[in-house]
Structure 1
Amino acid sequence: MTGAVLGPPAREPAAAARPPAVSLREALPVWARIAALSFGGPAGQIAVMHRILVEERRWISESRFLHALNFCTLLPGPEAQQLATYVGWLMHGTRGGLLAGGLFVLPGLLAIMALSWVYVLLGQVGAVAGLLFGLKAAVLAIVAQAVLRIGRKALRSRAMVALAAASFLAIFVLDVPFPLIVLGAGSIGYLGGRAGLAQFQAGGHGAVAPEDGAPYLLGDEGLPQEQASHGHVLRVLGLWGTAWLAPVALILLWLGPGDVFAQIALFFSQMAMVTFGGAYAVLAYVAQRAVEHYGWLRPGEMLDGLGLAETTPGPLIMVTQFVGFLAAYRAPGSLPPLVAATLGGLLTTWVTFAPCFLWIFLGAPYVERLRGDRALAAALAAVTAAVVGVILNLAVWFALHTIFAEVRPVAAGPGRLDLPVWSSLDPFALGLSLAALLAVFRFRAGMIAMLAACAAAGLALRLAGAI
């Protein structure tokens, strides 16, 4: 409730004044608050930012917020973190982008690092093992929910349904790399958009809500501090390209391509360039390569990592830090395992998020040129449709490795299928997974409540000696 200002009753209230300018120091606690509340995946994180930045603080207008969000969905990487970076850049230039984007990552980095230490030191202890057993069931329900949620928005035509089905078969049966699926779907959507085909028409994140008349600090008419220019492009590429890739090159030259740190640096740098479609789509690619190609961790451990990431603030893609941590822990070279693991996790986080700043600082000054481009919008819609198929693959993969202790590969023409060994069915994992699915889809349970309930159930089963 806002207080009224007393004054002579005959005087009409003056027009609402524009909010006062906000210094970088004044913005710091607001971005820290957003970072601390960034649970619930990108949808929840974007909702928190909208409530605080648009409704409470009135730092940025509704239409400008949505425009920034549309731009961030075109980029590889976590769109919520990039949106925070974009708004911070819009307000205070590069320093503001670093503050907002860096703070958004920091709580998750610290939490995942601490939990990774607990995992390798105590992961097989009864209580911890029980908690992780329950979290796996919760993760399966969350991924299944993501398939339906994104599918409802993305699959609005037969062409989009076909792209989703083709991407599922490509990755599940033919083992096609995720980057090729993204590039193929984007190319098809772009050509369909250029041709004006109705099947490829895409909408934005929603219509712009009507303004209520009160001004914003950053209204629709304002221009950013940093303007697009050739000099700007060269400066950003030189600074952030070097910051991102110089450590990768040094590690390769020093340790050689076969070292685990070189593999981490190269793999997650490549991932940072193709991570369209959100964290769940990326995790299918990470699981495919980290588990099956590199052998850095086992399928159940990938589920454990995702469960830990779901319970901490920050981007869900922070689960990659857990992957890098375990990879270096198991191949430490001459370093103590926990030291190597910590360095591996930090290296993973750096090469995952440094490109995010590059994309924003490089592309944000040109963002107005992307408005209204139907071909680019169609390409994004096609990629999102393909991502539905990729996430469905992730859900099936998680289900197989959660409910069954063993799976076996079976040839299927030019491809291969992973089928369960039915004798390895875990009835407790099946029952807990069905309960989690029922809680999500029938009773609309919140994510945090469902994670807590599943973890508690897993702990109870462990203490009772059932698992």
Structure 2
Amino acid sequence: MSLATSTDTALPAPTVPTFAQAFKVWARIGCLSFGGPAGQIALMHKELVEERRWIGEQRFLHALNYCMLLPGPEAQQLAVYIGWLMHRTAGGLVAGLLFIIPGMLVMLGLSLLYVLYRHVPLVDAVFFGVKAAVLAVVVEAGLRISRRALKNRAMVVIAIAAFICIYLFRIPFPIIILAAGLIGWLGSRYAPGVFAGGGHGGGAGAPEFKGVVDLMFERGELTHATPSGAKALRTAAIWLPLWLGPVAVLWLLTGQASVWTHIGGFFSTMAVVTFGGAYAVLAYVAQAAVETFGWLAPGEMVDGLGLAETTPGPLILVLQFVGFLAAYRAPGGLEPWLAGSLGALLTVWVTFAPCFFWIFLGAPYVEALRGNRALSAALTAITAAVVGVIMNLALWFALHVVFREVRAINVLGLAPDLPVLSSLDWRAAVLAIAAMIAMLRFKIGMIPTLAASALAGVLITQMLAG
């Protein structure tokens, strides 16, 4: 029985992890966080809630819902939040950095391979197989999160409505989130029983066990989670210069028209508006990178997304690929590979530094509001809406993996993305179905499934070529 839902009072009390123990677990999560935000959040839930009981279900969901409201990668911000709860600022820094660094290093290596060996058939075959397996990872993680969040019919209706709004009507993600929050707030007044079942603020359906963080709170050890104006000002005074200082320095040293100023300024702006994750902002980034700045050729953004899908860490690391190509193709007096690497690092910095700022600034206030029933109901509804958004992302990914061509077709005044059936890639479909059977039916792990799919991609490609 899952520790997250067990009512067995004989379970041993969880122990507070040392900083070294937490470091090892965060490193493990960072290396295994494939499958986009759905897979990453599910992995953290399994490692931190179900297996180690470092954080209780309610606090996990409460923190997740706050991260869902922020711009930037919600899974990485959730790691920062939980690390901060257990080991203060140092814990948040370690959790957040280890969530990023493995994927950043892999993405940097893949970006170098891309510009040097992008047309090598073996490399294409490996990526082809892995992409099909990642689809299975996303589906499995989406199902797991749905089982946690959709506790009653009202939550199911909200999830379906969110899916329809974003898929058929192209309603922006922030509007969907605001609408769901309003529905939850109204629900707390007119149907409190329905909106108290999402695991927030001690509502119905709450798990019996207490996590490490809950026990620390009861013992008065979470003093750093108490909000204060002085703490907020100090956090802003530290993190705003850390985030924007390098951008200002590059502007002064290289001028307004340099590629470094453009990278720093553009991706700093993206860090503030990337609500809804990587997919929500890809269209705008692709347009700006291709048409405005001339960093990428048409279609290369899709290649970058494919690379990001095969690496651990947030999918927003696709922006690192864009920054790499931008500096690689305008190196100035540097070697192209060095300029590209520096451009990638600059992109990562201005993309992720704000994530630490949002958490360290706002998390104490979010913790203080855990008992607020209206807020808890709003966050419960938001969680359900996010399930619908994840459903849309999974569908988008499935269409682009299994079909070679996808078009926006006008139907009754709407323009949903629909596949061109004649472009079905039977190889990708077979690999994706096999990966889903392996993970969902036989419970084979993510890494073995990815490795087997990569090998299968190479074998199928060679057989057809022969």
267, 270, 286: which one aligns with 2:270:
267
275, 292, 307: which one aligns with 2:309:
307
Number of positions where the alignment pairs a residue of Structure 1 with one of Structure 2 = 425
- Distance across 1 between alignment mates of 2:83 and 2:409: 50
Which residue is equivalent to 2:116? 121
For residue 456 of structure 1, report the CA deviation from its aligned partner: 0.6
Q: TM-score, normalised by structure 2?
A: 0.77
1:446–1:88 Cα change, 3 Å: closer
Superposed CA offset, 1:383-414 (max 9, x none) = 22222222222222222222222223322344
1:228–1:346 Cα change, 3 Å: same
SS in 1 for 2:199: coil
1:178–1:246 Cα change, 3 Å: farther
Q: RMSD of the alignment, in Å? A: 3.8
Contact 2:187 2:377 in 1 (8 A): yes
1:89–1:420 Cα change, 3 Å: closer
Which residue is equivalent to 1:144? 139
Which residue is equivalent to 2:400? 401
Question: In the alignment, residue 113 of structure 1 is paired with which amino acid?
Answer: L
Contact 1:261 1:328 in 2 (8 A): no
Contact 1:85 1:101 in 2 (8 A): yes
Q: How does 1:139-178 map to 2 (within 5 A)?
A: 139-178=134-173
Moved more, 364-373 or 252-261: 252-261
SS in 1 for 2:218: coil
For residue 31 of structure 1, report the CA deviation from its aligned partner: 0.8
Are 1:27 and 2:19 counterparts?
Answer: yes
1:158–1:291 Cα change, 3 Å: farther
Which residue is equivalent to 2:317? 321
Superposed CA offset, 1:161-183 (max 9, x none) = 33323322322233222222222
Contact 2:133 2:432 in 1 (8 A): yes
SS in 1 for 2:222: coil
For residue 455 of structure 1, report the CA deviation from its aligned partner: 0.6
Which residue is equivalent to 2:347? 348
Q: Which has the larger radius of gyration?
A: 1
For residue 155 of structure 1, report the CA deviation from its aligned partner: 2.8
Which residue is equivalent to 1:239? 238
- Distance across 2 between alignment mates of 1:210 and 1:188: 30
46, 71, 74: which one aligns with 2:66:
74
Are 1:456 and 2:455 counterparts?
Answer: yes
Contact 1:172 1:393 in 2 (8 A): yes
Which residue is equivalent to 2:433? 434
Which residue is equivalent to 1:3? none
SS in 1 for 2:418: strand
**Share of identical aligned residues, percent?**
41
Q: TM-score, normalised by structure 1?
A: 0.77
Q: How does 1:178-193 map to 2 (within 5 A)?
A: 178-193=173-188
1:171–1:328 Cα change, 3 Å: farther
- Distance across 2 between alignment mates of 1:257 and 1:196: 56
- Distance across 1 between alignment mates of 2:394 and 2:209: 38
- Any runs of at least 4 consecutive aligned residues in structure 1 with deviations exceeding 6 A, and if so which? 214-217, 249-253
- Distance across 1 between alignment mates of 2:65 and 2:374: 15
- Distance across 2 between alignment mates of 1:239 and 1:219: 27
SS in 2 for 1:408: strand
- Distance across 2 between alignment mates of 1:92 and 1:426: 48
Contact 1:305 1:323 in 2 (8 A): no
- Distance across 1 between alignment mates of 2:158 and 2:258: 36
- Distance across 2 between alignment mates of 1:262 and 1:215: 38
1:404–1:263 Cα change, 3 Å: same
1:107–1:409 Cα change, 3 Å: closer
- Distance across 1 between alignment mates of 2:168 and 2:52: 44
Contact 2:133 2:435 in 1 (8 A): yes
SS in 2 for 1:416: coil
- Distance across 1 between alignment mates of 2:88 and 2:127: 42
Are 1:285 and 2:280 counterparts?
Answer: yes
- Distance across 2 between alignment mates of 1:210 and 1:179: 34
SS in 2 for 1:222: coil
Question: In the alignment, residue 360 of structure 2 is paired with which amino acid?
Answer: F
SS in 2 for 1:167: helix
Superposed CA offset, 1:20-75 (max 9, x none) = x99xxx73574145313542423223433458975xxxxx6x55x86366334422
SS in 1 for 2:219: coil
Question: In the alignment, residue 320 of structure 2 is paired with which amino acid?
Answer: G
Which residue is equivalent to 2:379? 380
Contact 2:407 2:418 in 1 (8 A): yes
For residue 358 of structure 1, report the CA deviation from its aligned partner: 1.8
- Distance across 1 between alignment mates of 2:216 and 2:152: 37
1:50–1:419 Cα change, 3 Å: closer
SS in 1 for 2:330: coil
Contact 2:216 2:222 in 1 (8 A): no
- Distance across 2 between alignment mates of 1:445 and 1:320: 27
SS in 1 for 2:416: strand
Moved more, 136-145 or 347-356: 347-356
- Distance across 2 between alignment mates of 1:107 and 1:390: 27
Contact 2:62 2:379 in 1 (8 A): no
1:323–1:219 Cα change, 3 Å: closer
Which residue is equivalent to 2:330? 333
For residue 463 of structure 1, report the CA deviation from its aligned partner: 2.5
User: Any stretches of 5+ residues in structure 2 without a counterpart?
Assistant: 1-13, 34-39, 291-295
1:286–1:173 Cα change, 3 Å: same
- Distance across 2 between alignment mates of 1:360 and 1:252: 27
